[in-house]
Amino acid sequence: MSATIKSVAEYAGVSIKTVSRVINNEGTVKPDTLAKVQQAIDALDYRPNKAARDLAGRDNYVLGYVYDNPNAYYILAMQNGILKECRANGYELLIHPCDATNPDIIDELVNMVNSARLAGLILSPPLSEMPDVLQAMDDKGIQYVRVLSGDKAPDDKPCVLVDDYQAARQITGHLLDQGHQRIAFIAGEKQHHSTTERQRGFYQALADHGIQADPELVIDGTYSFGTGVQSIQQLLALPEPPTALFACNDEIAAGALFGARMQGVDVPEALAIAGFENSPFSTQTFPPLTTASQPTAQIAQRATSSLIRSLQARKRKAENHTITADIFVPELIVRESTSR
C-alpha cells in the first residue's frame, strides 16, 4: 500500500493541510517545516493520488494533446516531449486523434474538454493554425498552447514558434554557397504555415544573393513522396533544369531523389537535393539528405511547460503572468546529398 498524505503528515509531525501546501508549492510554509515535510515525502516515497486531487480540487491535472497530422514521426516526437514534461509535473495526458477537416471538429473538441474535464490543450499544426478552432477555445475559456510555424507570435496568446523561415533561408544559403544558381523549390500543402514560411525563407535567401527566383522552378505539391517523384520529372524536363533542389520536407526530397535516379541523374553530382525535418527518411536514402533538424520533442516539452506555468499562474490569480513566446530555429544538417 502506498503512502497517503495522512501518513506523510504523521511522519513529519504536521497537519495534512501543510503537506498539501508543500506538494502544491503554495509558498506559505516555513523553510524548516518544508524541509521536514520534504524529507517525509522522500522517506515514504509518497506520490499524491491523482484521483483524490481531481475530485477534491477545482482543477484537474490532465492535459490534452489533440492532433491531426499524417506524419507519424512528428506526432510521436511531439507526444514523447509532452509526456516527459507532464510526468515531471504530475500531470496526465489525454491523447485525442481527430480529423481537422471534419466540420464538427469544434464541437468535438469542446465536448472532449468538458467531458474529460481537461485543464488545458496542446495544439499542433494544422489545428493550431485554424482561427475558428482557437476562437472557440477562447470563447469557452479553454486554456491552450500552440506549436506554430513563424518567426513572431501572431497574437498574445501562448505559443511556441518554429522559425521555418530562418531555417529555410539557411538551407537555401547553403545551396547558394555551393555555387548553385538555379535552385528549385517544391512546396507542401499551402494550408500549412510551415510551407509558406519555408517558401518565404527560400525567396529571401535568393534575394540576399541578388538572384531572381525563376517561377518555373517553384512547384506546388503535397508533403508526399509522390509529389517529389512527379515534380522532379517536371523540373528535369525543363530546357534549363535546376542544379539544386530544396524540397519542403524530407519525404518530398526522398521522392525527388528517387525520381532523379530513375532518370539517370546523379545526386549530388548533377543535382543537389535538400529536404527539411530530419525525419528517418533523410538517412534512409542514398546519398543521405541534407536537411534541417527541428527538435520536435524539445519543442513539445517547452510548449507543455509553458502551458503548465500559465495554468498555475491562473490558479494563483496572478494576472501579471507574462507570456513569453519561445522560438526554435531548426538547425542545418549537411549530408552527402548536397556535397560537392
- Residues in touch with DNA (CB under 7 A): 1, 4-6, 13-18, 20-21, 23-24, 28-30, 33-34, 46-49, 52-53, 55-59
253 binds, among a copy of itself, DNA, none (CB under 5 to 8 A by kind): none
The nearest distance, CB 18 to DNA, in angstroms, is 3
d(CA 119, CA 63): 6
Degrees to nearest 5, angle at CA 263 with 256 and 183: 45
d(CA 105, CA 264): 46
The nearest distance, CB 193 to a copy of itself, in angstroms, is 23
Nearest CA to 326 out of 308, 307, 299 is that of 299
Residue the block writes with cell 478552432: 133
DSSP state of 324: P
- Closer Cβ to a copy of itself, 166 or 279, answer by number: 279
Q: What are phi and psi of 189, to 5 degrees?
A: -60, 130
The nearest distance, CB 24 to a copy of itself, in angstroms, is 17
Q: How many CA atoms lie within 13 A of 193 on its CB side?
A: 22
d(CA 88, CA 192): 31
Instruction: Note the residues at the interface with a copy of itself (CB under 8 A).
Output: 2, 47, 49-55, 60, 72-73, 75-76, 79-80, 83, 92-97, 114-115, 117, 224-226, 229, 251, 254-255, 258, 261-262, 280, 284-286
- Closer Cβ to DNA, 59 or 151, answer by number: 59
14 binds, among a copy of itself, DNA, none (CB under 5 to 8 A by kind): DNA
207 binds, among a copy of itself, DNA, none (CB under 5 to 8 A by kind): none
- Closer Cβ to DNA, 21 or 174, answer by number: 21
Residue 164 β-bridge partners: none
The nearest distance, CB 37 to DNA, in angstroms, is 9
73 binds, among DNA, a copy of itself, none (CB under 5 to 8 A by kind): a copy of itself
d(CA 111, CA 63): 14
Helix ranges (DSSP H) in 181-271: 193-208, 225-236, 250-262
The nearest distance, CB 46 to DNA, in angstroms, is 7
